[in-house]
Structure 1
Amino acid sequence: MKKWFQAGDPWVWLIASAVSLCLIAVIGLVLFIASKGLVYFWPSDLYEFKVENNQSKIHTVIGEIYDKKMVPALQLREAGYEIPKNMEKVQQILVKTGNREFVDLDFRWLIETQIKSQKKVPELIVLTRVTNGNFYGYPLYFEINGKRTEFNSLDDLNVLIDRATTLNNKALSLQKSEISSINYQIESIRLKQRSLEIKQTLTTVKKVDFKNKTNALKEKIVSFEQQLFEFNHLADRDYFFVKDMRGEVVRLSVANILKAQQPNKMDVIQKSIGWFKGVYEFVSSDPREANTEGGVFPAIFGTVFMVLLMAVIVTPLGVVTAIYLHEYAPKNMVTKMIRISVINLSGVPSIVYGVFGLGFFVYILGGSIDSLFYPEVAPGSMFGSPGVLWSALTLAILTLPVVIVSTEEGLSRIPMSLRQSSLALGATKFETLWRIVIPMASPAIMTGLILAVARAAGEVAPLMLVGVVKLAPSLPLDMNFPYIHLERKFMHLGFHIFDVGFQSPNVEAARPLVYATSFLLITVIIGLNLAAIHVRNKLRRKFKDLEI
């Protein structure tokens, strides 16, 4: 036993056990988040409950079961509910009832003792809408172009939904492309005119030319707006009538319906197809209803775009700094202090970087750029307000120590004999660095980049100060010159999780979206890291023979 301890085997087993426990904990956490989030997209069965309230009146509740829990009977008795004395615990069922415009809450708790009947009715339908969330009820009939048509099957409704969706997409595309582009051109002309006015070089001829161009663009907008109104009018042609749980017949515009399902009639294969469609819609569509409905595509795009921009900025800065410290800087007290400062920067709270980015990048640097190059935007701002560029720069400074330390470690692993051999053959020091040292240190550089991306993608606190917003009206990338707009604000998956989880007015509806978005953020980070790891492994194989 003594020899076994002296050989160090217990410590090997201890470390291996600790690593295994960490892996199991991480995998378990990811699976837990995935199970809580991905189940949100599964078409749930609909139930019709007959519930008796405290006044002994029976009313109908239609919805899908969201959660169940056991609560002490004493707690319910104190809340005023009549619970049999022989019961110690009572089951509560959380039901999503939707129909937000007709009921106070689209979620309600039902007590087991008040439920007189519970059944799955095949005819029940769930309608996913653009506004006011889901609608549950019994389908009755259509009103197509003013004519009443009986409801026969879900296919009839899907035909009308597809027609309205196509028209709505055309209207949205017209608004986001042609009309938005013309408005952008009008604003550009206004800024050019304002710039000439500031420089006092605006002539009457140029003023008339600007006015003519603006009027021509406004005429185009009028024609496009007429098409927009026509699309909206055609989309709002048909109506669908449904009987809700109150027994009232409700008239719903088909243009406001995104999807219709009768989950009680669906088998496992049909529900699986519906699940995949739901996941696709989640990652490809825009958010709705204060981010509690819809998708997260702008947040995905903003996260990836900002991280890639940060990587482009931090990599050359970190590599150049590491090369100078390791290859050129003298080995004295100043260099030691710089290294200590770089290492200590890794422990600075991220919110401090956010305050620094807001004060230096946004107000000082951005404000100076506006005053020097864009005085015509005053009293507004171009770069003097939070945007994706300042967010990327702030996170680049935050992750810079990681890249510097990793690159220096890679440089220190390269034998001095290789440098001396290159210099002996007549190469300059720069050529030696560029052609031998940096390529061989590239795996270490990629390791630092991987760590930087992993941290930057999950940071939220500094971004709240320097560019991220709850809902961005447009992406940082579009078809308007210069096509990449680094001054714009953007959405981020991390901030989306914070907003939905803690700022949402509808907590129950937001909870599964928090899990789904969290799992998506983990997936994005893993995807970015796997891409960097693939590049690093290729570089390692390429320079494997030269490593020690």
Structure 2
Amino acid sequence: MMSSVTETLPRGSDAALNAPPLDMRRLRKKRGSGNSLAAHGEPMVWLTGGALTLALVMIIALLGFVIWQGTVTFWPVPLVHVELADGTLLMGEPTRDETFKLEEAAIDRLAPGLQESARKAMAESAGVIHRRLLRTGNFDLTGTHFHWVDDYAVTKETRPEFAMVVERVEKGRFYGIPQSMIAAGEPVAEVADENDADEARRTIWDAYQQHHDAVTARREEIERLLKHEIGHEAARQANARLEMRAAELKHGPNSPEHQEAKKTFEAVLVEVGERTGEIRARAEKLRAENARFSITLATAQGVEKTLGMDEIVRMYPANRLSTGDKWSLYFSRWHEFFFDDPREANSEGGVWPAIVGTLTMTLAMALAVVPFGVLAALYLREYAKSGPITSAVRIAINNLAGVPSIVFGVFGLGFFCYVCGASIDQIFYPASVADNNPVFGKGALVWASLTLALLTLPVVIVASEEALAAVPNSMREGSYACGGSKWQTIRRIVLPHAMPGIMTGTILAMARGAGEVAPLMLVGAVKLAPELPVNLADWSGSMGPIPTGPLHLDNSFMHLGFHIFDLGFQSQNSEAAKPMVFTTTLLLIGLVAGLNVTAIWLRGRLRRRFVTGGF
């Protein structure tokens, strides 16, 4: 009380000069009696800061782990040739190592010569055993892809100079040492004497580098002929047959229209047969030319196997690579990963179809969800009156965001595919229905996009409504004062200023939709799609009477998220698929990040348009 009185007295007055001095000890005691540690707020600052730090550490650690595992997948490693104590010979790439404790009972079951080695190794390494996992390949000869090798069991280990890693079109990798080669039907070199073996193998390697590109070009041309040109002819035949079937259903089996369609189909059938025969003849000619190139390799066990050069995607001497060769091989594998089709049950090759499918589905989802979400938010914020019904709608929207994604997948399958799609087929594609070959009455890109649009709709509505609420009412009132109508005010004042917030909702919706897997498994995502959903060479896409050009909404598609699930949990060779899981995960994260960065950049540009200076 004394201090407050003193503070209110005018400075320099007699009352202020004659006031009794303050008792600081009593004042401190009075102030401190009501204080506690929590009252200062420092504990909450430390708690919130610690929580933020923990979250950042967890996120950075996860991203760092995925980035590290994903980027080292394609780096070439040396080949080792090991001889074990029991006489087993192995050759392969070390993929990972680990330590484990070998129980005494397990040591007693080892061969007498290995028991001492095992105990010695455990004594030298604090009671644990070190072992490596070698990718030995040669599945068609050995029936397995990997072998665990305990260090104590290795009696000899070398790195053969000309040991080759062979990445094949089928059957996985092959590891061997060149023994002979035939090019253009003529022998190039053969290892007949070990004294001259290095020179012969060097000759084989040089000849392989000389001819492999031409052989690969012929193999790719064969694949193009068989897949695209014959596929085009088969599509012509199928379309003609469907037109005949449609005429039969519409006009009757013996009507003039049906007879005319039948004649057209028979003419197309003859043309397709002739054209297909020509294409197959060209493919056989190329295949016969490729058959004149082959290479024979010997495995670690001495078994020789002859590989056609057209079976080889890539071959290289792992132990002779320079630093430049390793980087060249590394980037070559990345190029293959981005732009090639998958092979060997998706565990090798590329993910180009999954990239196209993921981007197309995400963009189609965004085009579907943003207009509906923004319109719903506009009505709730600008037109709807506050009341129990509006409150119930908002609660329903918020609750919709908590529904498990698989429920949306079941709804999409039951409603979009089996109701909407089947109805479209009945109206516009009756011939396909009669042949039990639905066009839209199955999983398709359009239904996957609409299902995920429904899944992400609450995100867009909530974010858009908050953005609309953030626009000051003074702007609306100024527009009304200038004679603007309600819609003019919304279109010219409110929406432009709310656009950055609406873009935020779009970013969140795209990020969530691109990473969803469970609903896609029911409404269109497949393990391997024969055709891309976007085909610039085929502009015949349509949805009933609506042309869609190169966008084929009725196609199934591959998705990076589903691809990760398939690699991680449905691959017969899980160890070989594991690196691809990390690399595909890294790609999906990068893809989502790229979409988000683009949207954030657009949001920033929109926000800068409406920045006003203060004065």
Q: Is the CA contact (8 Å cut-off) linking 2:365 and 2:453 kept in structure 1?
A: yes
Q: 2:501 aligns with which of 436, 441, 444?
A: 444
Question: Measured at CA, do residues 93 and 364 of structure 1 come closer, stay the same or move farther in structure 2, by a change above 3 Å?
Answer: same
Partner of 2:162: 123
Q: Match of 1:250?
A: 305
Contact 2:162/2:319, CA 8 A, preserved across alignment: yes
- Please report how far the alpha carbon of residue 229 of structure 1 lies from its aligned counterpart in structure 2 after TM superposition: 2.0
1:523 to 566, 575, 590: 590
Q: Is the 8 A contact 1:76 1:83 kept in 2?
A: no
Distance in 1 of aligned mates of 2:312 and 2:110: 39
Determine if the alignment matches structure 1 residue 487 to structure 2 residue 554: yes
Instruction: Please name the residue that 2:6 is paired with.
Output: none
Aligned to 2:224: 173
Q: What's the offset of the Cα at 1:346?
A: 0.6
Match of 1:462 among 484, 497, 519: 519
Structure 1 counterpart of 2:8 = none
Higher relative contact order (CA 8 A, sep 6+): 1
Deviates more, 1:304-313 or 1:64-73: 64-73
Aligned to 1:77: 107
1:48 to 60, 68, 81: 81
Aligned to 1:277: 332
Shift of 1:235: 2.4
Supply the AA of the counterpart residue of 2:413. Answer: L
The AA in structure 1 aligned to 2:82 is: F
- Distance in 1 between the 2:562 and 2:156 partners? 43
Cα deviation for residue 4 of structure 1 reads 8.5
Give the match for residue 134 of structure 1: 173
Alignment CA distance shift 1:546-1:442 (3 Å):
farther
Indicate which of 441, 461, 477 corresponds to 1:420. 477
Q: Which moved more, 1:210-219 or 1:405-414?
A: 210-219
Q: Is the 8 A contact 1:154 1:260 kept in 2?
A: no
| The structure with more radius of gyration | 2
1:257 is displaced (CA, Å) by 0.3
Does the aligned pair in 2 maintain the 1:163–1:235 contact within 8 Å? no
Cα shift at 1:79? 6.2
Query: What's the CA shift string for 1:331-365, capped at 9, x where partnerless?
Result: 11111100000001110000111111111111111
2:579 corresponds, among 502, 506, 512, to 512
Structure 2 residue matching 1:139: 3-state secondary structure: strand
Give 3-state SS (helix, strand or coil) of 1:229's partner: helix
What per-residue deviation string (whole Å, max 9, x for no partner) do you get for residues 282-313 of structure 1? 12111111111111111111111111110010
Shift of 1:13: 4.3
2:276 corresponds to: 221
Pair 1:60-2:89 in alignment: yes
| Pairwise CA distance, 1:327 | 1.0
Larger mean CA deviation between 8-17 and 29-38 belongs to: 8-17
Measured after TM superposition, the shift of residue 109 of structure 1 is 0.8
Cα distance, 1:278 vs structure 2: 1.2
The secondary structure found in structure 2 opposite 1:101 is helix
CA distance in 1 between partners of 2:235 and 2:367 (Å): 28
Corresponding residue for residue 564 of structure 2: 497
Work out whether 1:363 is the aligned partner of 2:363.
no
Deviation larger for 91-100 or 214-223: 214-223
Partner of 2:26: none
* Contact persistence 2:244–2:265 (CA under 8 A): yes
3-state SS in 2 of match to 1:44: coil
Range that drifts further, 339-348 or 8-17: 8-17
2:50 alignment partner, SS class: helix
Query: Counterpart of 1:512 in 2: which secondary structure?
Result: helix
TM-score, normalised on structure 1?
0.95
Q: Could you tell me how far apart the structure 1 residues matched to 2:322 and 2:60 are? A: 31
Corresponding position: 1:148 with 2:187: yes
| Residues 448-482 of structure 1, C-alpha deviations (whole Å, 9 max, x = no match) | 01111111111111111111111111111222212
Aligned residue number for residue 308 of structure 1: 363
C-alpha change, 1:423 and 1:182, in structure 2 (3 Å) is farther
Corresponding residue for 2:428?
Answer: 373
Superposed CA offset, 1:172-213 (max 9, x none) = 222333222222222222222221211116243343234323
TM-score of the superposition, structure 2-length normalised? 0.85
Q: How does 1:106-117 map to 2 (within 5 A)?
A: 106-117=145-156
Alpha-carbon contact 2:243-2:261 (below 8 Å) kept? no
Q: Distance in 2 between matches of 1:299 and 1:490?
A: 7
Alignment of 1:313-392 (within 5 A): 313-378=368-433, 379-392=436-449
1:195 aligns to what?
246
- Structure 2: 5+ residue runs without aligned partners? 1-31, 190-200, 542-549
TM-superposed deviation, 1:221 = 2.4
Alpha carbons of 1:133 and 1:335: their partners in 2 closer, same or farther (altered >3 Å)?
A: same
Distance 1:156 1:521 in 2: 39
Aligned 8 A contact 2:244 2:258 in 1: no
Does the aligned pair in 2 maintain the 1:158–1:260 contact within 8 Å? no
Give the whole-Å Cα distance in 1 for the aligned partners of 2:610 and 2:344.
Answer: 53
Structure 2: which amino acid aligns with 1:71?
F
- Per the alignment, residue 462 of structure 2 pairs with 405
Offset of residue 413 of structure 1:
0.7
Residue 546 of structure 1, CA deviation: 9.2
Identify the range of structure 1 (458-467 vs 187-196) with the bigger mean alpha-carbon deviation.
187-196
Deviation at 1:219, TM superposition (A): 2.3
Tell me the residue number matched to 2:260. Answer: 205
> 2:98, 2:131 within 8 Å by CA — same for their partners in 1?
yes
Of stretches 24-33 and 69-78 in structure 1, the one that deviates more from structure 2 is: 69-78
For 1:253 and 1:271, locate their aligned partners in 2 and report how far apart those are by CA, in whole Å. Answer: 25
Q: Does residue 1:185 correspond to 2:218, yes or no? A: no
The SS at the match of 1:347 is coil
Other-structure match for 1:95: 134
Question: What secondary structure does 1:192 align onto?
Answer: helix
1:307–1:457 contact (8 Å) kept in structure 2: yes
CA RMSD, Structure 1 to Structure 2 (Å):
2.0
> Structure 1 residues 215 and 22, CA, compared in 2 at 3 Å: closer, same or farther?
same
Q: C-alpha separation between the residues in 1 aligned to 2:556 and 2:351?
A: 16
Q: Secondary structure at the match of 2:585?
A: helix
Q: 1:546 to 1:182 in 2, by over 3 A?
A: farther
Structure-2 separation of matches of 1:13 and 1:68: 41
Q: 2:59 aligns with which of 17, 22, 26?
A: 26
Counterparts of 1:277 and 1:545, CA distance in 2 = 50
Tell me the distance in 1 between the aligned counterparts of 2:313 and 2:595.
32
Deviation at 1:33, TM superposition (A): 1.3
Q: After TM superposition, give the deviation of residue 516 of structure 1 in Å.
A: 1.1
Q: Distance in 2 between matches of 1:205 and 1:134?
A: 54
Q: CA offsets, 1:244-302, max 9 Å, x none?
A: 11212211100000111112111223212211111221121111111111111111111
